[in-house]
């Protein structure tokens, strides 16, 4: 992993995400409301990072999956692993487990850094712990699920530009899903970046009003279980492919 520099990639993407998520904190209108509980500054910041993660989440996991799998294509790694008794499908599952150990702490550190930066910028109202913990946990799970799809794609397609293109396309779809009806977002994997967002904004008298909303946990759980089943079946089928 260190040789493939995925740790550095994860750190850089996390820093970029925090930077983009915190841009609203610099506007004068936002600065004046950072100490106002009625303005819900933490909900505003959470929604901002949700937009950023919907755009960058698929790209993030596509990069990780591509970096972890490209070496197998270029260096005949599939055959080398097979000589040690590790089938292509099993190798993909091992890679997903390894990437999960990177994805989860990256998400936790990213959101923790954003909260700390919010405090530094002047948010003085108490942190809304519940929504932030819920979102952090679900974001880590959705990122892992999306990584599973991209990892499988990276394994079956030798040209890793295809994987990166799918990741970029997923970023655009993720943003669009935040603006789409929830019924549509539930039908697409990228839509779950929107589904797990526990905050929304609405315009009241020309002013943005932020509020927390309930996350449909049943749909999220169904998506995660379905992803696990699909990934398990798909990786087992990889063992039948001649390489």
Q: Where are the domains of the chain?
A: 6-238
What is the structure's pLDDT at 74? 62
| pLDDT tens readout for residues 121-178 | 989 899 999 999 999 999 999 999 999 999 999 888 888 899 999 999 999 999 999 9
Say how many C-beta atoms besides its own lie within 10 A of residue 180's C-beta. Answer: 15
Looking at per-residue pLDDT, the higher value among 1 and 195 belongs to 195
Contact 131, 212 (CB under 8 A): yes
Given a cut of 80, is residue 80 above it in pLDDT?
Answer: no
b/e map of 181-216 (b: 16 or more CB within 10 Å)? eeeebbebbbbbbbbbbbbeeeeeeeeeebebeebe
Q: Cα-flanking dihedrals φ and ψ of residue 209, to 5°?
A: -115, 120
Residue 204: the pLDDT is 72
Give the span between the Cα atoms of 131 and 137, in whole angstroms. 10
pLDDT for the residue numbered 75: 58
Q: What is the pLDDT of residue 76?
A: 61
Residues with Cβ within 8 Å of 176's Cβ and at least 6 positions away in sequence, in order, are: none
Given a contact cutoff of 8 angstroms between Cβ atoms, the answer to whether 66 and 99 are in contact is no
Which pLDDT score, from 0 to 100, does residue 1 have? Answer: 47
Max mean pLDDT among 58-72, 173-187, 195-209 falls in 173-187
Task: Kindly report the pTM of this predicted structure.
Answer: 0.91
Report the mean per-residue pLDDT for the chain: 88
| Residue 2 scores a pLDDT above 60 | no
* HSE-CB for 33 with a 13 A CA cutoff: 20
Q: Which helix (H) or strand (E) holds 199?
A: strand 199-204
- Which carries the bigger pLDDT value, residue 218 or residue 31? 218
pLDDT digits (tens, 9 = 90+) for 47-78: 999 999 999 999 999 999 988 887 766 656 55
Is 238 a residue whose pLDDT tops 60? yes
């Amino acid at each position: 992993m260190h040789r493939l520099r995925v740790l550095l990639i994860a750190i850089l993407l996390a820093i970029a995400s925090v930077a983009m998520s915190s841009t609203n904190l610099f506007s004068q209108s936002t600065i004046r409301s950072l100490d106002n509980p009625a303005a819900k500054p933490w909900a505003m910041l959470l929604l901002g990072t949700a937009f950023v993660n919907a755009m960058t989440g698929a790209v993030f996991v596509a990069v990780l999956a591509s970096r972890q799998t490209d070496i197998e294509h270029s260096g005949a790694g599939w055959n080398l692993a097979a000589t040690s008794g590790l089938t292509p499908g099993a190798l993909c599952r091992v890679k997903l487990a390894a990437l999960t150990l990177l994805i989860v702490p990256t998400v936790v550190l990213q959101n923790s850094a954003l909260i700390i930066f919010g405090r530094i910028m002047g948010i003085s109202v108490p942190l809304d712990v519940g929504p932030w913990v819920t979102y952090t946990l679900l974001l880590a799970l959705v990122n892992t699920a999306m990584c599973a799809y991209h990892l499988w794609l990276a394994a079956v397609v030798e040209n890793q530009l295809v994987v990166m293109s799918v990741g970029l396309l997923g970023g655009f779809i993720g943003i669009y899903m935040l603006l789409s009806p929830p019924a549509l977002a539930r039908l697409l994997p990228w839509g779950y970046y929107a589904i797990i967002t526990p905050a929304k904004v609405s315009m009241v008298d020309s002013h943005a009003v932020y509020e927390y909303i309930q996350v449909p946990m049943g749909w999220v759980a169904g998506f995660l279980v379905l992803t696990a089943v699909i990934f398990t079946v798909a990786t087992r089928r990889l063992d039948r492919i001649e390489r």
